[in-house]
Structure 1
Amino acid sequence: MENIMIISGKVKYSITLDPGVWIFDDRRIDLTTYFSMKKENSDSLEEYTKAVSKHWDREIMEGAIYPPTLKTEKKFEKEKVLTGTFGIPLKPFLLNSEPTNDAQTLVIHSSNGEFEFPLEQAFDLIMGYSNNGKPLSIDGPVHIYLNDGSNQENPIKNVKGFTVK
């Protein structure tokens, strides 16, 4: 239970966060490449449509039976999940908590003190939850990274919870 964090305060719903289940979440971000990649604003529906189209084209060209290359790709993806360094955007969780109209600030509670961010900037924060396939058990359960990667070498650690003010 020490890994469980809560978003509370000026929100319609208090949200409980469990980093242990995020490894299966499709919103996960590979932190080894995320900050070095060029940021693009993309439409998730457009991405989904392209992925489905690619899969459909592959089935038409190669048949519905998975060729050895696809099996290899799936094995590689499973291996990547078990050994990767991942994070997840804070935005969907903040949106689900439905901050009230007068909410302006997100306070991150940490063993190292409290860190305040304007709510608009807080939507861009990234929660790192694994390093080389292992949970952040020593200084976790999450590390907080700024979206621009400016604190990549020195993230906020030992996060205990979040309060919207």
Structure 2
Amino acid sequence: MIVPIMGNVFYSITLDPTVWIFDDRKILLSDAFSDKGRNSEEVDDLELASQRFNREVFDVKMNRPPVNRSISKLEGETILKNSYVMPLHDFIKNAEVKASATHAILVSDEVETEISIADLENGYFLFAIDGKPIKENGPVHFFYQDGSNKDKPITNIKQIIIH
């Protein structure tokens, strides 16, 4: 259920989509290809950054240990009813793709699909359907940011190789 990013990168990293259900960066599948999804990403990033700053500055100054926000029962029930995608931008940025890289290959059981680095970085991985990890044709499905393959995503992705 893990997806390694390797190849022409400074840092090979391993993605674990099974834990993304608790990640604040996830986006509802229904919002991913609308303006609402893109605008909320920017607002969420700013809001998360401000929360992190406040927690680090004010909690440390007052000698309180930082505490992760827990999920309420209602939020937990809502999470388990929806399908989610994860933007790939942060993961590709953390792997630090080398300047000489020209494309990425999404490796599945039977097919290798070549896409541009920009499409990969701006794309989404579907990782949960109805709040559950994707087991059939999983662990993740790839969607282009514009939703052009919304009805036929790239499935069975087992690894990403940067060339």
Calculate the TM-score normalised by the size of structure 1.
0.77
Q: CA RMSD in A?
A: 2.3
2:47 aligns with: 47
SS at match of 1:78: helix
Q: Give the count of matched residue pairs.
A: 143
Q: Which residue does the alignment assign to 1:55? A: none
Partner of 1:122, secondary structure, is: helix
Give, in angstroms, the shift of residue 87 of structure 1.
Answer: 1.1
Q: How far, CA to CA, are the matches of 1:26 and 1:115 in structure 2?
A: 29
C-alpha distance in structure 1 between counterparts of 2:48 and 2:12, whole Å: 30
Query: Which segments of 5 or more consecutive residues in structure 2 lack a partner in the other structure?
Result: 53-70
- State the one-letter code of the partner of 1:119: I
Residue of structure 2 equivalent to 1:28:
26
Q: Deviations along 1:90-129, whole A, 9 cap, x unmatched?
A: 1111111111111121110012411111112211110000
1:34 CA drift (Å)? 2.1
Q: Matches of 2:46 and 2:91 in 1, distance apart?
A: 22
Asked if 2 retains the 8 angstrom alpha-carbon contact of 1:9 and 1:164, the reply is: yes
For 1:145 and 1:76, the matched residues in 2 are separated by 29
2:11 maps to 13
Structure whose CA Rg is larger: 1
- Cα distance in 2 for residues equivalent to 1:45 and 1:108: 27
Please say if residues 123 and 143 of structure 2, whose CA atoms lie closer than 8 Å, have aligned partners that are also in contact: yes
Q: Which consecutive segments of 4 or more residues in structure 1 shift more than 4 A?
A: 48-52
Deviations, residues 124-159 of structure 1 (Å, cap 9, x unaligned): 110000101111101100000111111111100011
Q: Displacement of 1:75 after TM fit? A: 3.8
Structure 1 residue 158 corresponds to structure 2 residue 148 = no
Structure 1 stretches of 5 or more lacking a match? Answer: 53-72
Which residue pairs with 1:92 in the alignment?
A: 90
The question of 1:144 aligning with 2:142 is answered yes
1:7, 1:97 within 8 Å by CA — same for their partners in 2?
Answer: yes
More deviation, 129-138/33-42: 33-42
**Distance in 1, Cα, partners of 2:161 & 2:46:** 34
How many Å apart are 1:48 and its aligned residue? 4.2
Are the aligned partners of 2:125 and 2:141 in contact in 1 as well (CA < 8 Å)? Answer: yes
In structure 1, how many angstroms separate the alpha carbons of the residues matched to 2:141 and 2:29? Answer: 11
CA distance, structure 1, for counterparts of residue 97 and residue 19 of structure 2: 24
8 Å CA contact 1:112–1:157 kept in 2: the answer is no
CA gap 1:48/1:97 in 2 versus in 1, 3 angstroms: closer
Distance in 2 between residues matched to 1:118 and 1:154, nearest whole Å: 18
Q: Distance in 2 between matches of 1:130 and 1:27?
A: 14
Q: AA paired with 2:147?
A: G
